[in-house]
Amino acid sequence: MGKNIKLLISIIFLSAILLTGSKAELTNKIIISVGDEIITNYDLDREIKYLNAITIGQITELDNQESKKIAIDSLIKDKIKITALSDQRNIILKNELINNQILRSSQNIGFRSIDDLKAYLNYAEYEFDEFKKKILLELKWNQLVYQFYKNQIIIDKEKIDKKLKTLIAEQKKNVEYQIYEIFIENSAIKEDKEIREELNENNVVEELPKNKVVYEKNSGIIIETESASYNNKKDSIVEEKSIEKIVEVKTDDQITIDYVIENIKKEGFENTAIQFSSSPTAQQGGNLGWVSESKFSKLLLKSIKETKIGSITEPIPISKGVLILKIGNKRVEETNMDLDKEMEKLIEIEKNKQLNNFSTNYFNQVKNSIKIKYFND
């Protein structure tokens, strides 16, 4: 009798193990492979929680398919960066750098301290260690890009001096705008062939000599903010041009500017930025924060000044895409300028602008060398 009881207990115990394993298999089912890296259903669930946390709940306002697509795109980008970093053993990050970046990220989300962030993440059912892992990945990626391209950074001292003189002339009053951005890449826009031919005929697209870094032109559309993704690219610059001829047809892979604007009216600017913007600020609803008007090109500043607070600008064609800005607010502050610090800031902005371009180019190179496979449910 005792042997039968032991046998029964063993059978129940084994069944529990099998059921647990079966449940884990369902939970961790592989849905995508990115080279040697895999993405599971569990990863997708955690990524949605992460995006929901850093956007303060905006992801939950989207429908299930849209939030999944955004999360999958984010996971694929992470896996591509992990692949590129897999054979890099010489990247060492100081704790001070890590903590400073975590603090900046906390403040970008809207928290004053890391402790406030931890409390919020706990409420949002997302682990702080997972958040820190995301920060570490971005820091390592940035360090990798810097190591590869640091010798290709070109600083135009004359240009920096000119900007500093402009800042000195305007130092008594610093006008800042709270800016939100949506940047739509050309590859995502359904475009009529006629407009491309017309751009070429009118020399709207200006080809530049190889290996020459592009700098601001009077009529160029540039915003020199570290987190902006629409700075000048290395091979071409697009001047001011009407966008009226972009066709009003939406396909599976491409959108129209009219469709984006309609989406802004229906779902709000921030949600539309999350869905369609190609800028790194997309996950934060396009939030660029407070930006001094001295950081904008003349054309962008003109467009911003012509737009009422709380409204959006007209679509602005720029290098590699189309930009839409929302003017959240405006403030004017008296400033006491430290010239040395301002010079350092301007140089840092220029470096970051060029490194952002290098980062995008290198990421695309790595992505093109990796096979991405989707598995059916």
pLDDT at 41 over 70: yes
H helices present in 242-338, as ranges: 257-267, 269-276, 298-305
Report how far residue 288's alpha carbon sits from residue 229's, in angstroms, rounded to the nearest whole number: 11
* Among 96, 95, 92, 82, CA closest to 143: 92
pLDDT band, residue 28 (cuts 50/70/90): confident
pLDDT of residue 209: 32
pLDDT of residue 175: 86
pLDDT at 293 over 60: yes
pLDDT of residue 321: 85
Among left, alpha and beta (phi > 0; psi -120 to 50; other), residue 214 is: beta
CA dist 178 → 125, 149, 273, 278 (Å): 30, 32, 15, 19
Mean pLDDT of the chain: 77
Beta-bridge partner residues of 35: none
Of 95-104, 131-140, 192-201, 350-359, the one with minimum mean pLDDT is: 192-201
pLDDT of residue 190: 67
CA dist 138 → 19, 77, 78, 144, 264 (Å): 38, 11, 9, 10, 29
* Among 372, 368, 367, CA closest to 34: 372
3-state secondary structure string, 26-58?
Answer: HHCCEEEEECCEEEEHHHHHHHHHHHHHHCCCC
Superfamily of domain 27-151: Porin chaperone SurA, peptide-binding domain (1.10.4030.10)
List of residues 6+ apart from 65 with CB closer than 8 A? none
| DSSP three-state, residue 153 | coil
DSSP symbol at 94 = -
pLDDT at 39 over 90: yes
Domain ranges in the chain?
27-151, 158-367
**Whole-prediction pTM:** 0.53
Per-residue pLDDT tens digits for 44-53: 999 999 998 8
Per-residue pLDDT tens digits for 162-206: 888 887 776 667 789 999 999 988 766 765 444 444 334 433 333
If you count them, how many residues does the chain have?
377
Report how far residue 305's alpha carbon sits from residue 219's, in angstroms, rounded to the nearest whole number: 16
Per-residue pLDDT tens digits for 271-286: 999 988 988 888 888 9
pLDDT of residue 338: 77
H helices present in 55-156, as ranges: 64-85, 95-109, 114-123, 128-149
**Strand order across the 316-318 sheet:** 287-292, 174-185, 321-333, 316-318
Neighbours of 198 (CB within 10 A): 14
pLDDT at 131 over 60: yes
pLDDT of residue 170: 67
23-47: average pLDDT: 83
CATH for the 158-367 domain, from 3.90.1170.50, 3.40.50.1820, 3.10.50.40, 3.40.50.10680: 3.10.50.40
pLDDT of residue 193: 46
pLDDT of residue 187: 66
Per-residue pLDDT tens digits for 200-255: 443 333 333 333 222 233 233 334 443 444 443 333 333 333 434 333 334 445 78
- Rounded-to-10 torsion of CA 131, 287, 75, 118: 10
